[in-house]
Amino acid sequence: MRIDSLRDWIELLRREGELHEVTAEVDPYLEITEIVDRTVKAGGPALLFRNVKGSSMPLLINQFGTERRMCLALGVERLDEVGERISDVLELQPPQGLADKVRSLGKLKSFVDSIPRTVRKAPCQEVVVTDGATLDDLPIMTCWPDDGGPYITLPSVITKDPVTGGRNVGMYRLQKYSSTTLGLHWQIHKDAAADWREGAGRMEVAIALGADPVSTYSGSAPIPKHIDELMVAGFLRGEPVDTVQCVTVDLKVPAHAEIVLEGYCERGELAPEGPFGDHTGYYTPVEPFPVFRLTAVTHRRDPIYPSIVVGVPPQEDEWLGKATERIFLPALRMTLPEIVDYDLPAAGAFHNCAIVSIRKAYPGHARKVMHAIWGTGLLSLTKAVVVVDDWVDVHDYGQVMWQLGANVDPARDVQLSEGPLDHLDHAPTRQFVGGKIGFDATRTWTAEGYTREWPEVVRMRDDVRAAVDARWEALGLAAVPRPGAAAPRRRTRFGRRR
Ligand SMILES: Cc1cc2nc3c(=O)[nH]c(=O)nc-3n(C[C@H](O)[C@H](O)[C@H](O)COP(=O)(O)O)c2cc1C
Ligand SMILES: [Mn+2]
């Protein structure tokens, strides 16, 4: 089924038993957060609140809160499938024979077909309000007790590069200052912040709320600046995203969005933004950010408002982050083919830790990979890198701890460095810069100075395992789940069918 809009998506969630509707009145001030926090941590359904105090709009939340729903949104069985489709295109070789040419054309076509279309008439403009446009009709949540105010938490913030004219879509939270102004929390390393720095004077901004789930997701993905997130969304959907020209600004927005906020900010005008209970699990402090001034609100008839809560992990954003981790593995392998797999623990807020398994081929290889991670896109903000051998399951944190404990000599295997850190990281003494640490938990080679014999992992012989397999039922052990392997073997959590 094609999911062109948030409504299609809600229908799909309902049919799949993944949606719970709440008709009782709920308060967008703290109460929804408490309900959602419990629901997310219990692996519960998406929630559609029909009756939000102070607003006539229903509020959708927890749409991405489980692996299954993230897969449903992307139309895949496993998150790795998406990466595989991308690597198909990335690894496109000059075609050899005719059959090869046809196949390559198919792959290229799927790329060309990803380019957003422009439509004249769009659902998101069924209702257009310019005079007297206000944010007061939206059920904007105040998530945590010490938050600086209500925040729009799941927006697609659309801006244009002042030099190239290229579009950017970013998921940046927006603090409600007044009926017509918002704080634009694009952090220093993000693309919209670059759009802001590189120009002068007024900068137009459009904010889409409630786009189709893939377009929404794309705003959270660390896509290189010169690539339009909506094109990536089109590729992931297998269907281009329809866009429409805004009414009061020169920007195009997803045509099927529920609500669009049009406006601008003036370069040079900043206002205090924060505090906000963030995905680090801590409040981020008050800092100056640009001010969005509303010029129009357009929306569908009976719009639905989308929201998300972040806070002490795990939260709903875990699965947006995991989708990104899986989708970007092939791109990472383009420059680092030695990487077998990687894992960014959600509990490490994604940027605090990366576990990487590699096919080690030469002395010092693990350190090369650490430095590469510290030099790649937004991954460069990673604080700790753990490198393990190819057979280790990076998603099995028990196995990773085992390797760290068993293989690391802190006098030899720790690499300290320095570099940029995440905008939200409160640990470094100075904001934005600080230390990096790498752990080489791979087997140490003689060529790396190891003077003893590195021991073998304790593994059962294959013939014994096969014999026990054959006897399992006869031993009356049918009810005991058969372990995948007695010896460490790769088991990809994201490769499991559900
Ligand atoms: C729920 C959620 C909220 C986010 N809030 C912010 C934010 O307020 N500011 C920010 O700079 N990044 C935020 N991010 C991360 C960005 O969306 C992400 O870094 C994305 O790559 C930014 O787009 P860009 O690469 O085009 O700048 C958030 C991500 C998620 C999943
Ligand atoms: Mn971008």
Q: With bands split at pLDDT 50, 70 and 90, how would you rate the model's confidence at 92?
A: low
| Residue 488, pLDDT above cutoff 70 | no
Whole-number pLDDT of residue 120: 97
Whole-number pLDDT of residue 102: 79
Asked if 356 contacts 387 with a C-beta cutoff of 8 angstroms, the reply is: yes
Atom of ligand 1 nearest to the CA of 170: 23
CA of residue 222 to ligand 2 center, whole Å: 6
Which of 160, 167, 171, when mutated, tests ligand 1's pocket best, judged by the most ligand atoms within 8 Å of its CB?
A: 171
CATH tag for 336-448 (out of 3.10.129.10, 3.30.1330.10, 3.40.1670.10, 3.30.930.10)? 3.40.1670.10
Mean pLDDT, residues 194-206 taken together: 98
Asked if 192 contacts 186 with a C-beta cutoff of 8 angstroms, the reply is: yes
Taking CA atoms only, the protein residue closest to ligand 1 atom 29 is 220
Whole-number pLDDT of residue 350: 83
CA of residue 176 to ligand 2 center, whole Å: 23
Residue among 137, 278, 341, 393 flagged as catalytic: 278
Taking CA atoms only, the protein residue closest to ligand 1 atom 12 is 172
Spatial distance between the Cα atoms of 222 and 376, rounded to a whole number of angstroms: 11
Whole-number pLDDT of residue 107: 75
- Cα distances from 218 to residues 72, 158, 208, 278, in angstroms, run 15, 12, 12, 20
pLDDT in tens, 53-83: 999 999 999 999 999 999 999 999 999 998 8
Ligand 1, CB within 6 Å, residue ranges:
168, 170-173, 185-187, 190-192, 219-223, 308, 310, 317, 320
For 335, other C-beta atoms within 10 Å of its C-beta total 10
Q: With bands split at pLDDT 50, 70 and 90, how would you rate the model's confidence at 207?
A: very high
Which of 151, 190, 196, when mutated, tests ligand 1's pocket best, judged by the most ligand atoms within 8 Å of its CB?
A: 190
Atom of ligand 1 nearest to the CA of 192: 27
CA of residue 171 to ligand 1 center, whole Å: 4
| Residue 344, pLDDT above cutoff 60 | yes
Atom of ligand 1 nearest to the CA of 168: 26
CA of residue 14 to ligand 1 center, whole Å: 28
Spatial distance between the Cα atoms of 309 and 300, rounded to a whole number of angstroms: 24
For residue 158, give the nearest of 212, 128, 111, 203 by alpha carbon: 203
DSSP 381: G
Cα angle vertex 181, ends 176, 186, to 5°? 70
High-pLDDT (> 90) share of the chain, %: 88
Ligand 2 (ion): residues with CB under 5 Å are: 168, 191, 223
Per-residue burial over 224-241, b if 16 or more Cβ lie within 10 Å, else e, is eeeebbbbbbbbbbebbb
Bond preceding residue 330 cis, omega within 30 of 0: no
Burial of 463 (0-12, 13-18, 19+ CB in 10 A): exposed
pTM above 0.85, yes or no: yes
Spatial distance between the Cα atoms of 3 and 221, rounded to a whole number of angstroms: 19
Q: Is 417 helix (H, G, I), strand (E, B) or coil?
A: strand
pLDDT in tens, 244-302: 999 999 999 999 999 999 999 999 999 999 999 999 999 999 999 999 999 999 999 99
Cα angle vertex 387, ends 382, 443, to 5°? 160
Task: Spell out the domain ranges in the chain.
Answer: 76-306, 336-448, 462-495
Taking CA atoms only, the protein residue closest to ligand 1 atom 16 is 220
For residue 135, give the nearest of 359, 297, 330 by alpha carbon: 297
| Residue 158, pLDDT above cutoff 60 | yes
Active site residue 147: no
Q: Which ligand is nearest to the CA of 183?
A: 1
Which tops the pLDDT comparison, 445 or 498?
Answer: 445
Left (φ > 0), alpha (ψ -120 to 50) or beta: where does 242 sit? beta
Atom of ligand 1 nearest to the CA of 316: 1
Residue 111, phi then psi, degrees to nearest 5: -75, -50
Q: At what angle do helices 6-15 and 67-74 cross, to 10 degrees?
A: 130
Burial of 454 (0-12, 13-18, 19+ CB in 10 A): exposed
CATH tag for 76-306 (out of 3.40.50.880, 1.10.10.60, 3.40.50.720, 2.30.110.10)? 2.30.110.10
Taking CA atoms only, the protein residue closest to ligand 1 atom 7 is 172
Asked if 244 contacts 257 with a C-beta cutoff of 8 angstroms, the reply is: no
